[in-house]
Structure 1
Amino acid sequence: MKLLIVEDELDLNRSLVKLLKTQAYSVDAAFDGEEALDYLATSDYDALIVDVMMPRMDGFTLVQTLRQQNQQTPILFLTAKDSLEDKVRGLDLGADDYLVKPFEFPELLARLRAITRREQPTVSSSQIQIGTVRLDLSSQQVWKAEQLIPLTAKEYKILTYLMSHRGQVLSRDQIREHVWDFDYDGDSNNIEVLIKNIRRKLQESSKDSLIQTKRGLGYVIF
């Protein structure tokens, strides 16, 4: 998942970039609204984290400009402006959420996950292909090269979930909630077993697997 940080405070900007990269996000950094527009003209992002008070172009103006251009990328305001009036203004301009400084990093991550979940990835056809693995959404079949891979229903749901969120590290809790629809309270090691089964059926080792393990975080497909 690719993020753009728009924050004029140098130390905070660098800290956010460093911390988010530890969570396997790809991150670019801008220091004002005009620089952010330059980035957005050449790259697509899954979400923006935007300060309000910045030189040249403030965060409110940036978000207003993007929404007027019909740019629908999820946006999280990150700002010291904590009045109700400012929060209402930011949300009315088109931001998806508003987090007041100072903040705790786990809360930032949770809010980021929330706004990116709302923006579900769209698939232009009935198929998703990453490398040699092709997933057919209409027939619910998976192919590697020209070989049909026989997956169980839950293995298929896990692989679909990961492929549909390419680049995003998904925790065991997120996978469990998606695959078992929130009503499962069994052993989370079952997810490890299912991932291992998918890798075996795709004839991949854990080192060269399409599905990468991020220790202590979850699983991701790049």
Structure 2
Amino acid sequence: MHILIAEDDDPTARLVEHGLLERGHAVVRVADGPGALRAASDDPFDVVILDRMLPGLDGIQVLRSLRAAGVRTPVLLLTALGSIADRVAGLEAGADDYLVKPFAFAELAARLDALYRRPAMTDGPTRFVVGDVTLDLLRREVRRGDRDIRLQPREFAILEQLMRHAGQVVTRTMFLESVWNFHFDPQTNIVESHLSRMRTKLNDGFDHDPIETLRGVGYRMTSA
């Protein structure tokens, strides 16, 4: 794997770098947020290890900038902050996985392998059309009729799930697992708030909402 390590704590960065090099991976190290953003934007890394508390730009800011720019490289967020609220914040910003310091290198390596094995988001169809709504995964574009709809990364991912399963019910659990990689319920309105913002943008200027709410069940997108 070609791996970017964005970590300002030199002993931690050296430990991780040494372990990855021993396993035969190619490694690039940076020690601040601007460097991480620049490197991850310019080079095709397989995985990024991103410390949350970086100087210049913190890990959350780096993540949001990368996802807004359409960079979908898997990101493992490292942090000393381990509360559920902190985990939610990191995953909402676009992280694919989350590891709390201190950690065992064996666990880090296993998580990196899992992220690398995860199927690419562009496997299979890259363009979906449901009624007058079109979603293009490669261009990261959404159009309704002749209008461009600008969505944030999580909003885009929610709409993608609805369009992949057009005519079928998408449950809250399915959103949590596919969009946030949560395998637990954070007991917040994270799904509902993001979906509401996405629907507002999608329906602005139109008299029909293609997304049906099935209370207590989930959501369904149709062309009718």
Category of TM-score, reference length = shorter chain? 0.5 to 0.7
Distance 1:89 1:119 in 2: 24
CA 1:18–1:121: 2 relative to 1, 3 Å: farther
Distance 1:64 1:105 in 2: 26
Secondary structure of 1:28's match? Answer: strand
1:58-69 residue pairs with structure 2 within 5 A? Answer: 58-69=58-69
Distance 2:71 2:121 in 1: 15
Contact preservation (8 Å) 2:40, 2:48:
no
Alignment partner, residue 17 of structure 1: 17
Secondary structure of 2:40's match? Answer: helix
Distance 1:97 1:41 in 2: 19
CA 1:14–1:73: 2 relative to 1, 3 Å: same
1:79-98 residue pairs with structure 2 within 5 A? Answer: 79-98=79-98
How many matched pairs? 124
Deviation at 1:91, TM superposition (A): 0.7
Secondary structure of 1:50's match? Answer: strand
User: Which residue identity does 2:36 align to in structure 1?
Assistant: A
Deviation at 1:42, TM superposition (A): 3.3
Deviation at 1:119, TM superposition (A): 3.9
Secondary structure of 2:106's match? Answer: helix
Deviation at 1:120, TM superposition (A): 3.9
Deviation at 1:122, TM superposition (A): 7.0
Alignment partner, residue 48 of structure 1: 48
The C-alpha deviation readout for 1:192-218, integer Å capped at 9, x for no partner, is xxxxxxxxxxxxxxxxxxxxxxxxxxx
1:1-222 residue pairs with structure 2 within 5 A? Answer: 1-120=1-120
Distance 2:31 2:120 in 1: 28
CA RMSD, aligned part only?
1.9
User: Which residue identity does 1:85 align to in structure 2?
Assistant: A
Deviation at 1:43, TM superposition (A): 1.6
Deviation at 1:88, TM superposition (A): 0.4
Contact preservation (8 Å) 1:63, 1:95:
yes
User: Which residue identity does 1:24 align to in structure 2?
Assistant: G
User: Which residue identity does 1:4 align to in structure 2?
Assistant: L
For the pair shown, the structure with the greater C-alpha radius of gyration is 1
Contact preservation (8 Å) 1:60, 1:93:
yes
Deviation at 1:38, TM superposition (A): 2.3
Deviation at 1:121, TM superposition (A): 9.2
The C-alpha deviation readout for 1:101-149, integer Å capped at 9, x for no partner, is 01111111111111111144979xxxxxxxxxxxxxxxxxxxxxxxxxx
Distance 1:55 1:101 in 2: 18
CA 1:119–1:49: 2 relative to 1, 3 Å: farther
Contact preservation (8 Å) 1:74, 1:119:
no
Distance 1:9 1:42 in 2: 23
**Which sits farther off after the overlay, 40-49 or 14-23?**
40-49
User: Which residue identity does 1:84 align to in structure 2?
Assistant: I
Distance 1:122 1:87 in 2: 26
Deviation at 1:41, TM superposition (A): 4.0
Alignment partner, residue 221 of structure 2: none
